[in-house]
Structure 1
């Protein structure tokens, strides 16, 4: 199914009037010759000093602190615009992942308990940060392993 030019223009207008700056930059990158630099500049606002991402980058939770889940979203943006693994944004995120990996249990806690102190979708509420059951392990750990592989030469 192809999107008509009229519907594309309507969608573009919606994005340009209602989306967050980072999403407007990503839309411009993909459809209007926007720059990767603009996306990365917008992404920096979500990266914390520990290298991880937070600050409501994942719109379903408003946690300012870094989390593995928000860091996976930050890396999605970075990779979407072809950011090389050596870039400081990627390197900061990778270092955050290395520092927060839980060897006992082989996982990253998706979110800290502090998520409960901030607005969040009900599915992001947490009772503990224990290792997830095996059937839930993949989110976000499998994706994060992929980013470590992506950046392996620079880790």
Structure 2
């Protein structure tokens, strides 16, 4: 089960999203501010982060940048109740997977989460296939050498 870290200083939104994420088959992890969230990212396996932009201590954009510094492969979806073009641009430039406006439509959120995690799984599969491909390419000369030695010994 994939872990989804939900970060918001508004308790009711935090609980609503956690319940929805759980219903959709993911394991919700909650954090009430960016500082707590970053600590959880360092100590737990997190597959996706949903974070509010405006929070005390560490805001969502700063959290996004810190997470991308330590784990660039973590997908982050940013949401805000105070939409502004500049905050959307900042989020996307910092590596956000997507940007949503509160109140978040749960059907849209589910779609974004599913897509982000599916892409992450595909990237993992691609990495494995790429490694297997290189292993095969490297092993071909060894098999040719062994065949040549076998033929010479006959």
TM-score (norm 2): 0.26
Q: Which has the higher strand share?
A: 2
TM-score (norm 1): 0.26
Whose radius of gyration is greater, 1 or 2? 2
